[in-house]
């Protein structure tokens, strides 16, 4: 069973180890982190995060209790005034964890936290159009595509298109949650 546990400095080494090369880092983290990922960047990222009642950013490690191992990472940003959130920095650690349903489980747990604990109305995310497995995972979790931002991110001489997706509270509930 997967659980989302607050990301701490003790988790920095594992995230740095799995952060990948320059292109992969940009794919999962967006422009916030620069290659190579460093402790200094993670300290800044964690600053002000993870206060359940006041932070704008909840940062999690994804922990598989059945094997006692951290298998991923994600962040849930909160706009409390507008009851909206955004999932980002989604990373599953290593190919040996792919194809086991971890992605869907971690996204559904983030949605549960957002909708059930923080009473959000809407949760969004962005995914590059070439990341077909992530798109399938998000759709399986109830997200719908809202639009395409063409040439949203540049990596070297190539531009990447970004698909914007979201799920509303009523859609989450219609899937049988709560």
For residue 108, pLDDT beyond 90: yes
Q: What is the pLDDT of residues 22-41, one digit of tens each?
A: 999 999 999 999 999 999 99
Asked if residue 138 has pLDDT above 70, the reply is: yes
Give the pLDDT mean for 126-147: 97
Q: What is the pLDDT of residue 175?
A: 93
Residue 167 structure tokens: 């799920």
- Arithmetic mean of pLDDT over the chain: 96
Share of residues in the chain with pLDDT > 90 (%): 94
Band the pLDDT of 178: cuts 50, 70, 90: low
Least confident of 6-10, 119-123, 149-153, 174-178: 174-178
Instruction: Go through the domains of the chain in sequence order and give each one's CATH number.
Output: 2-174 (3.40.630.30)
pLDDT at residue 120 greater than cutoff 80 = yes
What digits encode the pLDDT tens for the residues 53-107?
Answer: 999 999 999 999 999 999 999 999 999 999 999 999 999 998 888 888 999 999 9
């Amino acid at each position: 069973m997967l659980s989302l546990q607050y990301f701490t400095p003790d988790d920095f080494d594992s995230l740095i180890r799995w952060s990948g090369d320059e292109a992969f880092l940009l794919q999962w983290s967006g422009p916030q982190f620069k290659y190579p990922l460093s402790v200094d960047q993670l300290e800044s990222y964690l600053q002000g995060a993870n206060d359940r009642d006041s932070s704008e950013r909840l940062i999690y490690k994804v922990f598989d209790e059945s094997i006692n191992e951290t298998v991923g990472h994600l962040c849930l940003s909160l706009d409390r005034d507008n009851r909206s959130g955004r999932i980002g920095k989604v990373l599953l650690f290593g190919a040996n964890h792919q194809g086991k349903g971890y992605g869907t489980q971690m996204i559904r747990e983030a949605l549960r936290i957002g909708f059930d604990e923080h009473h959000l109305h809407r949760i969004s995310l962005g995914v590059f159009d070439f990341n077909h497995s992530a798109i399938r995972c998000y759709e399986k979790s109830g997200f719908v595509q809202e639009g395409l931002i063409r040439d949203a991110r540049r990596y070297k001489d190539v531009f990447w298109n970004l698909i914007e997706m979201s799920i509303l509270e009523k859609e989450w509930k219609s899937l049988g949650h709560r």
